[in-house]
Amino acid sequence: MNRLTRKLEGFGPLGDDDRRLLDELTTNVHEVPARTDLIREGDRPEDVHLVLEGFACRYKLTEDGRRHIMAYLVPGDFCDLHVAILGQMDHTIGTLSPARVVHIPRRDIDRLVQRPTLAKALWWATLVDEAVLREWLVNVGARDAAKALAHLFCELLVRLRAVGLADANSYEFPLTQDELADTAGVTAVHINRSLKALRGEGLVTFHGKRVVISDAERLFAYSGFNPNYLHRDRRMRGRSLAPAP
């Protein structure tokens, strides 16, 4: 099933029409190799991009040549829904693994947004992206590298489970330690040592490119992970839903 549909149903039920429309608009699929920029800072893309398979990320390069990764885009995630309003990209988006990416014409997004249920679901997805960003800021600013990594693995467990890409305690995770370093704002050597510490505590293990979390509760407690910021709990929702600004 369409990863986007699956993700949006995490917000609330969709009608058959909605699902059909989502399937219809996600047919223009492009195969993209790993480490390839999809959209660059300064671009004004015509189409909206959606990741269907593989991992991508948002990143910026600083004046002194450092790369900082600001978000992971996993299947079901939009890359640049916001460019219609902002006009110009203020960061770059690139693949981390081989990926399948859909190009959706701006016009088709308008069609999606004309359906109130889909409009709300898309807005929810955008706001959750922002909440994730806030949590990443806490991660980098207030947790040491080991805890930040542990927290990240918890978040990905929940996010990937939401699109059917994780089982109860593991998922494919094709990133290098270099990429984790640019995410956590530390060096790759330090990432290596922090991962070793996590392995040593039995909190996370790695088999090939698969992250295995044998005791999720323990990892949650260790990293201070509280999934509320992912807003996937239905009891939290269902209040007056104003049309999106």
Partner DNA sequence: CGTACTATTGATAGATATCAACGCTGGTGG
Partner DNA sequence: CCACCAGCGTTGATATCTATCAATAGTACG
Q: Which residues bind DNA (CB under 7 A)?
A: 144-145, 176-178, 185-190, 192-193, 195-196, 208
Minimal distance, residue 181 CB to DNA, in Å: 7
Query: Which residue is listed with tokens 């195969």?
Result: 31
Crossing angle for the helix pair 16-25 and 116-142, to the nearest 10 degrees: 70
Of 224 and 227, CB closest to DNA = 224
Compute how many residues bind its own copies; rule: CB under 8 A: 65
The CA-based angle 235-160-216, given to 5 degrees, is 75
Crossing angle for the helix pair 145-162 and 116-142, to the nearest 10 degrees: 160
| Site for its own copies contains 70 (CB under 8 A) | yes
| Site for its own copies contains 64 (CB under 8 A) | yes
Minimal distance, residue 85 CB to its own copies, in Å: 5
Half-sphere exposure of 145 (CA within 13 A, CB side): 19
Minimal distance, residue 172 CB to DNA, in Å: 13
Residues 124-153 that bind its own copies (CB under 8 A): 124, 126-131, 133-138, 140-143
How many Å apart are CA 156 and CA 210, to the nearest integer?
12
Helix (H) or strand (E) holding 178: helix 177-184
Minimal distance, residue 208 CB to its own copies, in Å: 28
Contact 103, 47 (CB under 8 A): yes
Of 196 and 234, CB closest to DNA = 196
Minimal distance, residue 80 CB to DNA, in Å: 25
Contact 32, 100 (CB under 8 A): yes
45 Cβ partners below 8 Å, 6+ apart?
39, 80, 83, 89
| Site for its own copies contains 231 (CB under 8 A) | yes
Residues at the site binding its own copies, with contacts judged by CB under 8 A = 41-42, 44, 58, 60, 62-64, 66, 68, 70-71, 81-82, 84-88, 90-91, 106, 109-110, 112-114, 118-120, 122-124, 126-131, 133-138, 140-143, 184-185, 224, 228-229, 231, 236-245
